[in-house]
Amino acid sequence: MRQVLGVVSSLDNSPTPSRLESDRTIYLSLAELGHRYAVGASDRVGSLTQFELRCFSQNGEDGVIAEILSRTGLLTSFFVEFGVESGREGNCVFLADVLGWKGLFIEADEVSYTALNRKYIEGGRVRTINSAVTPNNVEDLFASAEVPPDFDLLSIDVDGADYWIREALQAYRPRVVVIEYNAALGSRAALVQPRGHDQAWDGTDYFGASLGALCVLAERKGYQLVHTDLAAINAFFVRADLTGDRFPTAGEVPRRQDPNYFLQGYRHPQDPTHRQYFTVT
């Protein structure tokens, strides 16, 4: 999600002072994150909160993903991410740009996709597709890009049908799934936008699914909740056959239920029309 409180992140590449400052911090995070991957497999257990680290991700996803993968091990070194915009930020950008993973980025917006495709058109390791992802086409898109059925990491952020797209994935069993949730809905109720809701996100708190809904779906698919980030934006799930005793149990994971955007308690304005959600079981 790139828009908060009516402010849209700029795709302008002009070197403003704030942009130069943020670029400097990337290199510090880059070194630390590279070190974490170089260490390799870990026998650490317990909470993932202290491993949050931002390099190319919007929040602490980079560091959490690194720690999860150190505990699960790697199989394919293949990722899929959609809702990645230009590829300047993303949960899988470090994997693609620094570690040299193969993968697939999907972006619906044509302007953002032009920049994304320009970045990855050479080399052939990373494929890009210009398409909206829906429950009806997600598996066809994966098949067209030759995504392995048992790949390492899936990241979903489409500000709407995230739950229904995840539900529709039947032929693919990613080892780790990162998916955005709507913390304004609380952590226990299993609420989701109705299937087929096709309106673009309007910047209000009406979007996506609650953490409770995603946990219900994950359990049904054989996945375990292992983390929610400090910003209360992303939920991290690991396939249950890979968790062992290396991760906190679902009951031990903090269920962060109050929006904490920018780690400052910001939240989206309330939906003025009070649109309804669907309860899943």
What is the set of domains in the chain, with CATH numbers? 15-279 (3.40.50.150)
b/e code 170-179 from CB counts within 10 Å (16+ = b): eebbbbbbbb
b/e code 27-49 from CB counts within 10 Å (16+ = b): eebbeebeebbeeeebeeeeebb
The count of other CB atoms within 10 Å of the CB of residue 148 is 15
Residue holding tokens 């080892």?
Answer: 175
Distance (Å, whole) CA 92 – CA 104: 9
Strand partners, 8: 3
Model pLDDT, residue 2: 52
Low-confidence ranges of the chain (pLDDT < 70): 1-22
Model pLDDT, residue 86: 96
Distance (Å, whole) CA 1 – CA 82: 11
What pTM was estimated for this model as a whole? 0.92
Helices (H) and strands (E) in the chain, counts: 8, 11
Model pLDDT, residue 198: 82
The count of other CB atoms within 10 Å of the CB of residue 267 is 15
